[in-house]
Structure 1
């Protein structure tokens, strides 16, 4: 750094600089601010696009609890509570689900911390002003007797979804005195005496500003918005995935930390990817539709590719445990497109916020042959696929979407649960492609959020949380555990920085 720059930066910009602007970043900022630290949060996006990936979520957050009575102290009142069953979800259940969906590749120390501290973390955020509720429309079905049963271990979410989450965070940060700067292109870290002591920011005119601090918390997301990095690390074809969330998560600060000596953490070859509206204009980084572009009622129907063939088990498990890996399966199909097919009997059960979305990519027809023609699939092949599926269903088992009902279609590939014959017109085909949410590879860190080098030694002054902290997820993840991890490790990093 030249003499004039050194003179201009004698004073600290803040005690703690947080790089990023999503749930993890704001949680870290709150945790530092309540300790009396002077906090500066640097958001790459302009003010009108604030919120990181978190803004685009439904706000669902996975926590351990012992049932509805254990949740009412921090969720919004609802007249349906008296007719609602919320099964307990223990820390052992939580840890078991993480191990199951990642095939045991989840870091045990990070997992132990996550499952123990997710619920206390939400209660702490609620005490600061964030609002939570039961997610009736996404995680339960109303039963014939009018009661509700929640399923899949994911029960609580933010009031107002991701948009509500981030507006709540913003209000808390402003009340706590956190300084927030938007449009900040943070591209590198600065060091003093072997410790991280600030960041380098590129101004719109190309000049560089160096901001000093005692420590830096990195919460700037993964590399999912960079086509070339996706192709390099995830493989050919991933450059064609649709970016669900913020277009600003380009991996720039991952690169900066690695160049400084940080070790890689987690699985850099996989990501969170889901079924996403294929043809609606503006189906990337859409701040008006956000999560409504997902199509997550697929366990009720079937998925076919452009050849009219099924290619996965739609009913392998509750959607919370399969949706984050099925985007990859669709990316590998011809044209990276598939169709969710339902009949008139199933159509009323689809999530209204997703399947009644304005401009939704759907074809409707009174016969399967007509439907096939409308989606460009060979009618005979589609008819054979659906006839084989229909005729293989064990109809003696009752259909029940609230439980894994074992109502199996014994065809190839099988459908393990929720198999319902597609016989009643009109028929519906929703076009879906791969939507990428975030990448699972990040920086190696300890349970306190301290970034580690290749010798597993903490890099002084450097912390990571949110999607930048690798190690929890690989190949798949349990729904709602991403926001939970942002809360837990953001709070931990902010409590130390």
Structure 2
């Protein structure tokens, strides 16, 4: 059903995750009629936000670390625009006040990074709690939700202004007239064809981090590009996490890899497991696993793993470890070449130097004469029972997306805003090389709100 000619055209939001709901509520608060379309049903809608712990890279509710801008830009090798991060910091306090005014609450909570270089703040109840806070507010403000409805393409006027959205849903295809369209539909991590085209590896071995991934197929990004939008971010990059591929629970993380060794299916080590704290190395570890044969590795440790006091906090998998009393038995259970695994473990054990083990921080307990080395937390693996967890690379979201300005307006190839088109969240591309943890939900919320306010008042 198209909107009535007698009523003002609505702001149309694509996606009901944190960016989409922030946009919808803020636009409605400005008095604009709002329609939200989402391909998922009402119980599944929310994209990746619904499933994430939603850690914020903040020292306090209103305060990032003083090095926040420099850190985020540095993670990208200087390619993330500093103005974007500065605008995020500038708008942070009022956004946090706004979301708390709608019932969200935050706390310092122990993360799955059992050793960490940077503190985190978390909403009570994770990302789903943010959605639960905003959705009833949107409904009370009169926002119309159209579930099981997929955005197909933008409608534009002769001058290039976006004036509507073609959608398909339970009633068939439709054109929704719009005063503005806000794209908040995530990346293209749910589209294997697009991933295969853009990513430099075997995408069939990537594990979706959660059910929300499958809904993010990239139509929002593609329709904006068709309308002349400029690409942003690293299109052959994505946010990766190490997970247990056996598990059927979302976000089945294995964040304890520094406290043992990682071997591939050939029984060989392939990286320095202890090169830094978990929060700074988990993504590159997941990528290194993805580069191994069949995209699989095995974290192997022994009874000394019991010395890691908070080890269970770093294991979100719902599956028990594979256990064995000997390396031969473990190799058989994992399907690894027994002699090669034995040689790998023997070489590793003989290279471990004496020192004091401290799982909480980089302890300098390392190996000597070993390639690849292990820089911290090097304990021998020789005391039964031996334990192992399979590890695969999970895809969380893609880095490539749309370029926007400080008002969340999508820009064209010349950097000029496309009239009537806005975007926020993971569909906007700012990341390169390495994800600065604790920023995705945060920026979706901040710039989703900006998009809603700007679209409603432009």
Q: TM-score, normalised by structure 2?
A: 0.91
1:230 aligns with 2:195: yes
TM-fit CA distance, 1:221: 0.7
- Residue in 2 aligned with 1:322? 281
- Please show how residues 111-126 of structure 1 align to structure 2 within 5 Å: 111-118=85-92, 120-126=94-100
**Deviation at 1:331?**
1.7
Aligned partner (choices 75, 82, 96) of residue 108 of structure 1: 82
How many matched pairs? 450
**Displacement of 1:481:** 1.3
Q: Kindly tell me: are residues 378 and 220 of structure 1, through their superposed partners in 2, closer, same or farther at Cα, counting changes over 3 Å?
A: same
State the match for 1:408 in structure 2. 366
Mapped pair 1:421 → 2:385: no
Q: Which piece of structure 1 moves more, 319-328 or 426-435?
A: 319-328
Distance 2:176 2:104 in 1: 30
Give 1:366 deviation, angstroms: 1.8
- Match of residue 14 from structure 2: 19
SS at match of 1:322: helix
The answer to whether the 8 A contact 1:361-1:431 is kept is no
| 1:302 to 2:297 alignment | no
Partner of 1:145: none
Deviations 1:8-58 (A, max 9, x none): 752557531111111111122222222222222211101121110111212
**Is 2:251 aligned against 1:256?**
no
5+ unaligned residues in a row in structure 1: which ranges? 75-87, 142-150, 284-288
Q: Gapped runs of 5+ residues in structure 2?
A: none
| In 2, Cα distance between equivalents of 1:324 and 1:176 | 40
1:486 to 415, 434, 444: 444
Match of 1:90 in 2: 65
Of 121, 142, 145 in structure 2, the residue corresponding to residue 156 of structure 1 is: 121
Question: Aligned residue for 2:426?
Answer: 467
- SS of the residue 1:424 aligns to: coil
Superposed CA offset, 1:346-373 (max 9, x none): 1464653663743x16311122232122
CA distance 1:90–1:243, change in 2 (3 Å) = same
Query: Which structure 2 residues correspond to residues 448-459 of structure 1 after superposition, within 5 A?
Result: 448-459=407-418
CA contact (8 A) 2:120 2:438 kept: no
SS of residue matched to 1:327: helix
| Contact 2:162–2:419 (Cα < 8 Å) also in 1 | yes
Contact persistence 1:322–1:476 (CA under 8 A): no
Shift of residue 228, structure 1, vs aligned partner:
0.7
What's the TM-score, normalizing by structure 1?
Answer: 0.84
Within-5 A mapping of 1:83-232: 90-92=65-67, 94-118=68-92, 120-139=94-113, 151-192=116-157, 193-204=159-170, 207-232=172-197
1:389-441 superposed Cα distances (whole Å, 9 cap, x missing partner): 23333332x33333333332342112223323323321111111121110000
- On the 8 A contact 2:244/2:317 being kept in 1, the answer is no
Q: Partners in 2 of 1:317 and 1:259 — Cα distance?
A: 42
Contact 2:73 2:81 in 1 (8 A): no
**CA contact 1:9–1:210 (8 Å) conserved in 2:** no
Deviation at 1:309, TM superposition (A): 1.2
Contact 1:41 1:180 in 2 (8 A): yes
CA distance in 2, matches of 1:232, 1:356: 31
Q: Residues 356, 187 of structure 1: CA spacing in aligned structure 2 closer, same or farther, 3 A cutoff? A: closer
Q: In the TM superposition, what whole-angstrom CA distance separates every residue of 1:416-475 from its partner, at most 9, and x where no partner exists?
A: 23323323321111111121110000011112211000000000111111111112x112
State how far apart, in whole Å, the 1-side matches of 2:155 and 2:316 are.
49
